[in-house]
Structures are given as C-alpha cells and as structure tokens.
Amino acid sequence: MATILDGNNIAAQIKDEVAAQVKELAAQGIRPGLAAVLVGEDPASEIYVRSKVRVCEQLGVFSEKISPPASSTSEQILELIHSLNQREDIDGILVQLPLPPHIDSKRVLLAVCPEKDVDGFHPVNVGNLSTQRPGLAPCTPAGIMEILRRSGIEIAGRSAVVLGRSDIVGKPIAMMLMNANATVTVCHSRTVDLPAYTSTADILVAAIGKAAMVKPEMVKPGAAVIDVGINRLMDKNKVREYFPDDPKRQEEFAAKGSTLIGDVHPRVAEVAGAITPVPGGVGPLTIAMLMANTVKAARLRRGMAVQ
C-alpha cells in the first residue's frame, strides 16, 4: 500500500514557520496584512474566507474582510482594489472567486498590484514563475511542491505528468515541476490515449475535476500520486463502488448524504508508492501557502530577503 502524504501535518509545519517569521517581523515593527474581498453572500465563499481570516488570527497576520454587496458594479470593485493597492498596512489582496456574473473578473484580478497578488494569478507573477524570478506563486501548486519536497520525493530527472491545464493548478504546477528539473507532460480532456502517458509518470498530478477518473491500471507502480480533485459523491451506489471496505466513508454518507472523493480512484493506493488523500491532502496546503505568500509579500515589498 502507498505511503499516505498527510497534508494536514505539512500544512501545520508551514504555519509554524510562518508564525515564527511573523514574530521576527513584529520585532522590527512590521505586521503582514491581508485583505480578503468577498463580493455578495455566496455561502461556500463565506466559509472559505472565514477560514482564511481565522488562520490569519492564529498566526498573527493582520486581516481585514471587505464585503461589498452583490449589486456592486465592476467599477466600484475596481475602485476598492485601487484603494487597497495604496494601503501600506495591506501586503496581500485576496479576491474570493467566483465574483457575481455581471462583474468583470479578469479586470478585477488584473487590477490587483502584482506585489500584493497573494493568489499568484497576475500575469506579472505568471511571468516571474515562468522565468524563475522572485514573485508570488499560486497557492495550490506551491503547496503541491511543498508536499513533494517535505516528503522526500525526488523531482529532478523524474517523469511528471499533470492532468489538467487550468491557470490555477495545471499550468503553474507544470511550470514549477519543470523549474525543479522534472520532465513534464501536460494532459487534458482532448488527450488521446491518456493511460499511455499516466502509466509512465514517476509523479502524477491529477487536477482534472472528474471523480475517480485515474484508475489503478493507469498508474505506474511506485509512483507519487498527487490528487488535487475535490468531488462530492451523492450516489449511494457510487460510494459502495469506490469505498467498499471503508465503513467510515459509508457512515459519513449515511449521516451527511454525501462524501468527498478526488480525481484518483481509492484503489490507486494499492499501486502507488505515495499518495495524497482526499480530504486531508492538498487542500490544507492552499491556506498555508496563502499565509506564506502574505509574509513573503510583506518582505518583498520592503526589500527584505525572502526566507
């Protein structure tokens, strides 16, 4: 059976390191600050932002939640972003997606000052990543790299296959793996004969958004498998199919009417050398890396060395 790569433990390590850096900066009269912009009242987004603000409080990072009404115009949100760009007490600006459909999301994200773009989505930061210059990298891919490195999984010289080409995960993790000297192949929904690629991967990153799509026969024995997918199962028969010997999952489904599964079939753990669970794998790293990016932004903006 595969070694389970526990994202909760790795996230806790990173948060401890961030808290230590926050204390170090506090001794110099600096407190990193994060502004979270949540437009409207989307329940899922409310939960995400609340959890981010809570972690800020735990680590000593200043946080400010700003909640314009859903009726706000693109121009009003752009004015808000401009004002946050000017504030010295704000080092990071997080715009919680999705925005209401009438707001121009691309214009809003582009308006965030690259030095405060803690999501790492601004074209300037994408360019910095691709040319290996200092900057802020997307949180989920950065978290994946931390899982690999802190778990002692060799990257240089290895064959890595990324399933998915999104701007948020697929493209940046492919670039990060390439920067770490892996030989990278990016596959997607139009790839012909997907197993021909996945079965050669020493490192397989699944971020394609389809429940249990990666089957055991698609995975190279001993590979490190990183499952980025978060899919909600609401079909009792599917739960029995995917988790036949997992009474905890069946109990959870009976209690909640749903359970989570990644893009990787649970039986892949019988083939892989190491694997991230869902939940408790990549997910916890996203917020941890957001905190790390906020501190990094605070240091970079002041011309300080990045730890």
Q: 21 CB contacts (<8 Å, ≥6 apart)?
A: 295, 307
For residue 282, the 8-state DSSP code is S
Is residue 120 classed exposed, middle or buried when 0-12, 13-18 and 19+ CB atoms within 10 A define those classes?
buried
256 is catalytic: no
Q: Among this protein's residues, is 96 annotated catalytic? A: yes
**Coil, strand or helix at 161:** strand
Contacts of 215 (CB under 8 A, 6+ apart): 265, 267, 268
* Closest by Cα among 205, 219, 224 to 263: 205
How many other β-carbons are positioned within 10 Å of the β-carbon of residue 142?
A: 23
Catalytic residue among 15, 52, 171, 296: 52
Indicate which residue of 91, 117, 119, 202 is catalytic. Answer: 119
Give the C-alpha separation, 163 to 263, whole Å. 10
* 42 is an active site residue: no
Residue 306: CB atoms within 10 A of its CB come to 11
Whether residue 98 is preceded by a cis peptide bond, meaning omega within 30 degrees of 0, is: yes
Q: Known catalytic residues?
A: 52, 96, 119
